[in-house]
Amino acid sequence: MRAATGAWTGLCVAVMLGGTFPAAAQESAGSAQGDVAVTIYNNGQSLVQDDRQLSVRPGRNRIEFPDVSARIRPETVTLSGPGLSIVEQNFDFDLLTPDKLMDKAVGQTITLVRTNPATGVERTERAKVLAANGGIVLQIGERIEVLRDDGLPVRAVFDRLPPNLRARPTLSVTVDATSGGTVPARLSYLTPNLGWTADYVALFDVAKGAIDIQGWVTLTNSTGTTYSNARTLLVAGSSGGGGGFRQLSGAMDMAGTESNSRERLGDYYLYPLAARTTIANAQQKQVSFLDVKGAPARSTYEYANRWLGSSTDPVSTASVLRFSTSRQGGLGEQLPAGTIRVYMRDGRGDPQFIGENRIDHTPMGSAMSLRTGDAFDVKVQPTVVSRTRKGDSRWVTKMRYTLSNARPEAVTVLLAQDGLHGDVRISDESLKSERISADRVEWQVPVPANGKTDVTATFDTRY
């Protein structure tokens, strides 16, 4: 289709063949990244190390680094290489668009190519851009006119691109080189938008009282850049935070005290990926890291009543899955923070999803209780039977908890009464309780199949 063209097209092709045409075209072959190593933390923060070969002249060089993360934190950039010392670093994110191109051309001369609508003949003239406010005001020779005032086609061709405007955010570093040649250099920076979590698939077998757990690392990359063929290291633990401020859930009953041979960084566990991998932009990638079969687990019911809590209708108890991460009788692994999804087999043996919950970073040897949902058939109806005042600062409260079980087998419910503030004594109870702490008391209540059990307790409160 290279039909007969104007003289300028011929010129264009000639120039192309001449080889002076855009050097940028050569970048198309692939990424400008070198040997990339990525360390990914749980909090969506990542450390990228990029070893590139730079060709420098002796003295000052301005080096551009395309294909860095578009979300790079420029204050964390370091560049090191033999004989290189950094003069300045710039991260330019002023993006090149047509209106900025015109705006920066104010005061400069551009080329206009007009096409005669009747004959199709093209005419070229030079014009000076006087202003670009709302519309474009041009000076052509001695005339002043507005670009495309008559609505006829006019191509505006610019001689050059303005400096500092780029198609993509670009990092540029000015260095002093002691000698010329090719220098191995290491660029490292932190970037958000590249993070990981763990996802667990737990298949629970009630009859055997066991779970099979598979763990997958889920990487998510939305940095705008693909990291090709990268050595990848995952760090379980979030830098910053701690001190009990960010508890994800109450899944851990007791923190463990065991450890294994897994590599550590400070107090964090490291999970290196076995092979190099490419983490593409806008990709979610999963790699397996844990596979444990037949760890003991049991399903339990829990209900915690708040102080003076009562209900006109029975309330579902929580279904809780209990297991351990210890080496003896458990998973024998530490669990990075993530989501555990629990599955069970239905009557035909097909797995079905029965609930999920988040866990925090869990050391090995921890006792876990994972709340997966509400029990349909096991319910509690708490009643405040009476509250009697026995003086200025003393009350006697009678509670009744009616536990019902519509299942064909007997169950045991962990019933708790919370909020026992002040000096609370239990003066009378229908079932022996365990005082867990000053403000919580627990009963293990057996409820017969298709039956009900009442638990009554009298609390004597002084404050």
Partner 1 sequence: MRALPLLLGIAALLAPLAALAQQARAVVVSSRIDDVAVTVYRAPARSGGPINPNWPQGFAFITETRTVELPAGPSALRFEGVAEGLLPETAVVNGLPDGVLEKNRDARLLSPAGLVDAYLKRSVTLQRTNVKTGRVVEQEAVIQAGPNGGVIVQTAEGFEALGCSGLPERMIHARVPRDLSAKPTLSVLVDSNAARTVTVQLLYLAEGFDWAANYVADRAADGRTIGLTGWVTVANGGVTSFPNAQLNVIAGRLNKVYSPPLPRSTPGSLVLKCWPMDITSTHPYWELPPVIEFDDAALDSLEMVVVTGQRRAGYAMAPPPPPPPPPAPAPAEDLGDLKFYRIPFRVDVSAKGQKQVVLLAKDNVPIEQLYAATLYTSAAGRPQPLTLRLRARNEETDGLGMALPAGMVSVFEMAGDRRLLVGEAKIGDKAKGERVDYDVAASPAVQYSVRSLPDPDPKKYRQWEVRLTNARSSDAEVEMLIPFALDRTPEGWERRGSAWVWRVTVPANDRLNRIFRQKLKGD
> What residues numbered 71-110 form the site for partner 1, per CB under 8 A?
95-99, 101-103, 110
Least Å distance between CB 366 and partner 1? 19
Rounded CA separation 19/15 (Å): 7
DSSP string covering 286-320: EEEEEEEEEEEEEEEEEEEEPTT---SS-EEEEEE
Query: Contact between 209 and partner 1 (CB under 8 A)?
Result: no
Q: Which residue has the tokens 């909090």?
A: 43
| Contact call for residue 392 and partner 1 (CB under 8 A) | no
**In the complex, minimum distance from the CB of residue 52 to partner 1, in angstroms, rounded to a whole number:** 17
Question: What residues numbered 236-255 form the site for partner 1, per CB under 8 A?
Answer: none
Q: Is 21 helix (H, G, I), strand (E, B) or coil?
A: coil
- Given candidates 87, 94, 126, 353, which one binds partner 1 under the rule CB under 8 A? 353
Question: Hey, what are 114's tokens?
Answer: 């007009």
- Rounded Cα gap, residues 368 and 250, in angstroms: 9
Q: Does 296 bind partner 1 (CB under 8 A)?
A: no
The answer to the question of residue 458 lying near partner 1 (CB under 8 A) is no
Under the binding rule (CB under 8 A), the answer on residue 260 touching partner 1 is no
Selected range binding partner 1 among 72-80, 227-235, 263-271, 413-421, rule: CB under 8 A? 227-235
Strand-pair partners of 195: 220
- 389 belongs to the binding site for partner 1 (CB under 8 A): yes
Q: Which of 139, 172, 239, 383 binds partner 1 (CB under 8 A)?
A: 383
Shortest distance in whole angstroms from residue 385 CB to partner 1: 7
What residues between 135 and 164 interact with partner 1 by CB under 8 A?
135-136, 146-149, 151-161
Q: Choose among 375, 382, 370: nearest CA to 316.
A: 375
Q: Which is nearer to partner 1, 396 or 416 (CB)?
A: 396
The rounded distance, in Å, linking the Cα atoms of 321 and 18 is 73
Q: In this structure, are strands 143-146 and 135-140 parallel, antiparallel, or unpaired?
A: antiparallel
Number of residues that bind partner 1 (CB under 8 A): 136
Written as six digits, the tokens of 160 are: 């050059």
In angstroms, rounded to a whole number, what is the distance separating the alpha carbons of residues 398 and 205?
40
Torsion of CA 336, 341, 344, 348, to 10 degrees: -130
Q: Which residue has the tokens 């005032």?
A: 149
Length of the chain: 463
Nearer to partner 1, 235 or 359 (CB): 359
Contact between 127 and partner 1 by CB under 8 A: the answer reads no
Q: What is the closest distance, in whole angstroms, from the C-beta atom of residue 414 to partner 1 in the complex? A: 14
* 169-208 binders of partner 1 (CB under 8 A): 197, 199, 201, 204, 206
Of 7 and 88, nearer to partner 1 (C-beta) is 7
